[in-house]
Chain A
Amino acid sequence: MRFFTSLGIIFYATVLIIIGAGLIIYSLNMFQPQQIGDFLIYLQSGLNTRLIVGLSGLLLILISFSFAQLILGRFQSEKTIAFTTPSGEVTVALTAVEDLIRRITSLLPEIRELRPDVIAGKKGIMVALRVILKSEANIPELTARLQELTKSKIQSALGIEEQINIRIHIAKIVTSEEKDKKRKSQQLETSDQQASLPYSGYGRL
């Protein structure tokens, strides 16, 4: 696998170097547009050259697809929590854990929005929560409850005993007045727009 990765890196680096060098050469006036035109015409002139160009294009697309999949697969496989059972391996995507944490919002009415970010490392699971609260919430009490709830949910759902570190960042506190104001201003805007449109009440005959 390492061989393919290094091959991919060399391939992409070579392609980028060739493009870069071509652009530099072109900017230095070493190539005339006529010469490039002649070369392109030559490539299109014979059946063999067209075949070679077409096949090279196809090969490049296939290579790029396989490398994209390799890279994406690698990223995907890194972002999991894994454990083995007698029947095989079970991997849980960290996005699944994030889904699980997001559901907690429904249990705590004081939370308006919750954005979790889960990282699994050697020291355990790191959970970063970005929270938007409603103004009536008691922050110390709520954050303690949220930490406790998140920890217990992860432990009960995944059955893991590793250390879970939960960091909470309160990004915003939204008041109910703010919401009302927004709603009112939106209503006013729409009514103004309706009023300012001349002949808006008339339909086309």
Chain B
Amino acid sequence: MHREESSLDLGTIKIHKNVIASIASLAATEIDGVKKIGKDFKMGLWELIGKKSYSSIKVLIDKNDEVRVELPLVVKYNYNVPEVANKVQENVRNALEKMTNLTVRNINVAVQGIEKDDTSGRHD
């Protein structure tokens, strides 16, 4: 798996794609209106064999060291989807830039489903 690498006088710092995915996941679920991170085909397969560490968030790093994140989401019912997606994009971008100093090019959000919020009352 490709790692984001930066050189310093003392040595190199490598950030694994999984770290970027974890930051993106935490930043996305912080937003009010996000129920959970969605699943993909591979994640379903991994879960079948009992491995739950696989993330469905795809992190792509291009030649210019710019990061592209593909984020599947499940949004809570009664929330405005574009608004939630926009907030997620902003929060993920801020979190990644703050924690890793990376240049984030695109954060593509894919809303996979809408589920009712079990924990709190209805948002209007």
Residues of A within 8 A of B (CB): 69, 72, 80, 83, 85, 87-93, 95-97, 99-100, 103, 156-159
Contacts and interface: CB of A to CB of B under 8 A. Distances in A.
A67 to B, nearest CB: 13
Contacts of A83: 82
Interface string B71-97: 000110111111101100110010000
A101 to B, nearest CB: 9
B37 interface: no
A87 B93 contact: yes
B108 A157 contact: no
Contacts, number: 75
Nearest to B86: A85
25 contacts: A69-B41, A85-B82, A85-B89, A87-B106, A88-B106, A88-B107, A88-B108, A89-B108, A90-B81, A90-B89, A90-B111, A91-B108, A93-B111, A93-B113, A95-B113, A96-B74, A96-B75, A96-B81, A99-B115, A100-B77, A103-B116, A157-B78, A157-B79, A158-B81, A158-B82
A90 to B, nearest CB: 4
A87 B81 contact: no
Contacts of A85: 82, 85-86, 89
A100 B116 CA distance: 9
Nearest to B79: A157
A92 B81 contact: yes
Nearest to B112: A93
A90 B109 contact: yes
Given A72-B41, A103-B116, A96 B83 contact: no
Nearest to B114: A99
A97 B82 CA distance: 13
B12 to A, nearest CB: 29
B79 A87 contact: no
A124 to B, nearest CB: 17
B86 A80 contact: no
B110 interface: yes
B112 A95 contact: yes
Interface in B36-54: 41
A104 to B, nearest CB: 10
Contacts of B114: 96-97, 99-100, 103, 157
B69 to A, nearest CB: 8
Contact of A89 (B74, B90, B106): B106
Contact of A90 (B69, B85, B90, B115): B85
A12 B104 CA distance: 40
A199 B81 CA distance: 61
A159 B113 contact: no
Given A89-B109, A103-B77, 16 more contacts: A85-B85, A89-B108, A90-B81, A90-B86, A90-B109, A90-B110, A90-B111, A92-B110, A96-B75, A99-B113, A100-B114, A103-B114, A156-B80, A157-B80, A157-B81, A159-B81
